[in-house]
Amino acid sequence: MSSTLYIGEKNALTFPVMCDGYLQIDYSDAVAEEPYGIFAHDRSFTVEAIITPFDINGYGFKLAGSNSPAGTVGVTDSIKTMPTVQAYNTTASHYQSHTYRDEANRITDKMVLFHNDNLQLYLQNSTLTTQNQPAEYKIGMIVNASTDDTLVTANPVIKSSLRHVGETATSTVYHGEDSTVKYEAASANVASSGHTSGQATFTHDGANHADDHFFVGQELFTLSGQVFTSIGKVESVASATKVVTLDAVVNTDLDSETLYTHAKREATYLLNSFHIAWAMDITNGRMTIYLNGDVVATKIHTDYGSGSFPFYIAAEDTYIGQDPSTGTSTQFMGQVHEFAFLDNYKTEFNSLFTLAPNYRDTLLYYRFEEIDE
């Protein structure tokens, strides 16, 4: 069989940040209103998808004025990164991005890729802050047999990067051993007579209060020669004084010490695609999640072995991109390149860059990645 090669810009089903949208798989389209395709499917299955997730945290720094490297609301000209209200003396509710989804909720939000009453597949943000912290995602699935059971990766598996390239080493940018940017100078240092050995607090030498220069969760370092040493993470920052409290005592005197912090994290996953598979083996109750062909989570459903394991795909409208009953709090933001629902439990994948489902096993297949000829 001959093949034709096309060169052009690839497309995808795109859910931009701050959208409210989904693809509805309409049960009323079933043949003669009988179970068809995925509907009422009660056997083993594998769902494969190739996706590119977007950053729902945004480029956040809760620092005031010129100390914030991202201005007042972070990135506002990209469909891939959420704006993030960050400057002090700003009314957050005046900004659309905050009313769409406030920063406190974004850090644990689920992005639902597939929703049926008996099966939900999703990415879940698992971060502690939006400050210098792009979203990082766990992968999860919920299978309802007699009861719901959840399988989710123990840790984020789609992560941001602390190291990046493209900056020239200067007095404020420091490179690691592999010549990637890893550290930069903090916006203030320890004042003279600002710290006593054995204490967890220090006073900084900057022009403004502590919350203008440092943020909770920020890791700080000192530099001796070529060695960076962590002194801990910021636990609290004063809003009316220059006092910074760390999460542990520092047993060396930090008076007049120059401080460093992590370079700005980058959501490098915005430029990549990921092959994700969710699989369920009805014969033994095993639920498995794969990322780029590797098992990242697996377990036996709690209902298996109870004498009844009545799993099936509910014969009802099903959705890609959101659970409409919860609205934008479950909105998937990213690109779906391909999506397939297969009538078997897969343990190996022929390709991680495109889907090649076997026609006999395919219950549902979407290919959004056509190109402009």
Q: For residues 111 and 93, what is the distance between their CA atoms, to the nearest angstrom?
A: 23
Rounded to 5 degrees, what are φ and ψ at 93? -70, -10
Given a contact cutoff of 8 angstroms between Cβ atoms, the answer to whether 348 and 25 are in contact is: no
- CATH code at 173-262: 2.40.10
Helix (H, G, I), strand (E, B) or coil at 281: strand
Length of the chain: 373
Instruction: Report how far apart, in Å, the C-alpha atoms of 340 and of each of 181, 320, 351, 354 are.
Output: 39, 11, 13, 11
Cα separation, 105 vs 133, whole angstroms: 14
In this structure, what token pair is assigned to residue 294? 């590797």
Q: Which residue do the tokens 């083996």 mark?
A: 281
Q: Which two tokens stand for residue 1?
A: 């069989």
Q: What is the DSSP string of 104-129?
A: HHHTT-EEEEEEETTEEEEEEE--S-
**Whole-angstrom distance, CA of residue 45 vs CA of residue 242:** 58
Residues of the chain with pLDDT under 50: 1, 373
State the pairing for strand pair 110-116/45-53: unpaired
Q: Closest Cα partner for 218 from 241, 230, 234?
A: 234
pLDDT at position 330, please?
Answer: 96
The pLDDT value recorded for residue 1 is 44
How far is C-alpha 58 from the chain's CA centre? 11
d(CA 335, CA 14) in angstroms, rounded, equals 4
Can you give the residue ranges of every domain in the chain?
A: 14-161+268-367, 173-262
**Token pair 């990067």 is at which residue?**
161
pLDDT of amino acid 369: 76
Which amino acid is residue 210, in one-letter code? A
Buried b (16+ CB within 10 A) or exposed e, 271-302: eebbbbbbbbbbeebbbbbbbeeeebbeeebe
CB 66, CB 213: distance < 8 Å: no
Residue for token digits 């592999």?
Answer: 178
Residue 345, by phi and psi: left (phi above 0), alpha (psi -120 to 50) or beta? beta
Helix (H), strand (E), coil (C) string for 173-190 = EEECCCCCEEEEECCCCE
Eight-state DSSP code of residue 329: G
List all residues 6 or more positions away from 325 whose beta carbon is below 8 Å from its beta carbon: none
Instruction: Look up the pTM and report it.
Output: 0.87
Contact 208, 200 (CB under 8 A): no
Task: Please report the pLDDT score of residue 198 as a whole number.
Answer: 93
Question: Cβ-count burial of 56 within 10 angstroms (0-12 exposed, 13-18 middle, 19+ buried)?
Answer: buried
Q: Which fold has domain 14-161+268-367?
A: Jelly Rolls (2.60.120)
DSSP letters spanning 37-71: TTTT--S-EEEEEEEEE-BSS-SB----GGG-TTT
The pLDDT assigned to 55 comes to 95
